[in-house]
Amino acid sequence: MFTVLEALKKTTEYLEKKGIESPRVNAEIMLAHVLKCKRLQLYLSFDRPLDENEKNLYRKFLQRRTNREPVQYITGVVEFYGLEFHVNKSVLIPRPETEILIEAIIKDTNDKGIINILDIGTGSGNIAVTLAKHLPNSKITAIDKSKDALETAIKNSELNDVEKQIDFVEFDILNNQKDFENIFDLIISNPPYVSKEEYNNLEPELNKYEPSIALTDFSDGFIFYKSISNQAKDLLNTDGKLFFELGAGQSKKVKEIMEQNNLRDIQIIKDYQNHDRVIWGAVI
């Protein structure tokens, strides 16, 4: 009889030997998905035996994980800022670090009236959907060059009951020009900021499985910061604000880029590891 406790113990040991980070957490997430329960419930069900179908599915999940496929793609879901999102290989997996960006925007805008927001490179829609959920007076335009990503984002807006607040548009911010119906109060982007050189050295979970166009600009890591900052003055209202998520070691250069494009009152926010994570400024 193969119980929940035995499955967790053996899987954790196996994943650890394979060099998988956080092996116990990975084992719990996959097993909870197989058993259609919350992770906490596993601890109340240690003696529960797995049936053959459950064991077979769990083995398949385990094999995929040892091939370094991210656990979020295996289960197809991820939690972000207390909400559930569907994910697949067409979208970047939402990271906890991006919640710092969400918190900064909510803090800055929560007491304002109706605001128009542009989310550039929406991916799974995690930023647009979360802001729509917490800023019910907002109207959001979410753009992405990937049709597949937009399909996933639309599903996530429906899953979280905010589809009426968000207009999803297929659009390449680098290579197209578009007359948006609205001038925006906020522009937000978590752009591809990994340089081409860094991308080649990423761990397999990233450069083998996650979409490259969501990770790297195939250049120095600053192309999107430059392009979006340059366009901000034409897309934002007076006193409108531009918010970026930052990659490691990028804050000084991105601040210079924003200043060169006449953004003022630039602020930088650190994450819980004391790394510069969010930068924002207002148009002059």
What percent of the chain is predicted at pLDDT more than 70? 99
Q: What is the mean pLDDT of residues 113-123?
A: 93
Taking CA 258 as the corner, what is the angle to CA 252 and CA 261, rounded to the nearest 5 degrees? 145
Q: Residue 17 burial by CB count (10 A; 0-12/13-18/19+): exposed, middle or buried? A: exposed
The yes-or-no verdict on residue 179 having pLDDT over 90 is: no
E strand or H helix at 103: helix 98-109
What b/e readout covers 227-250, taking b as 16+ CB neighbours within 10 angstroms?
A: bbbebbeebbeeebbbbbbbbeeb
Cα(121)–Cα(155) distance, integer angstroms: 16
Tokens for 109, please give them.
């805008």
The yes-or-no verdict on residue 172 having pLDDT over 80 is: yes
pLDDT for the residue 97: 95
Can you give the three-state secondary structure of 38-63, one letter per residue?
CHHHHCCCCCCECCHHHHHHHHHHHH
pLDDT for the residue 96: 95
**200 C-beta neighbours (distance < 10 Å), count:** 10
Cα(198)–Cα(209) distance, integer angstroms: 16
Task: Please give the mean pLDDT across all residues of the chain.
Answer: 95
Summarised one tens digit per residue, pLDDT across range 139-157 is 999 999 999 999 999 999 9
pLDDT for the residue 112: 75
> What is the 8-class DSSP label of residue 165?
G
What are the domain boundaries of the chain? 4-67, 92-283
Tokens for 180, please give them.
């948006």
284 falls in which pLDDT band (50, 70, 90)? confident
The yes-or-no verdict on residue 182 having pLDDT over 80 is: no
What are the angstrom distances between the C-alpha of 122 and each of 25, 29, 276? Answer: 28, 26, 22
Summarised one tens digit per residue, pLDDT across range 56-111 is 999 999 999 999 999 999 999 999 999 999 999 999 999 999 999 999 999 998 77
Domain spanning 92-283, CATH architecture = 3-Layer(aba) Sandwich (3.40)
Cα(38)–Cα(50) distance, integer angstroms: 16
Q: In what order do the strands lie in the sheet with 184-189?
A: 166-170, 138-144, 115-120, 184-189, 236-245, 276-283, 263-270
pLDDT for the residue 218: 94
Lowest-confidence range among 5-9, 47-51, 174-178, 275-279?
174-178
Summarised one tens digit per residue, pLDDT across range 203-232 is 999 999 999 999 999 999 999 999 999 999
Lowest-confidence range among 122-126, 186-190, 226-230, 234-238?
234-238
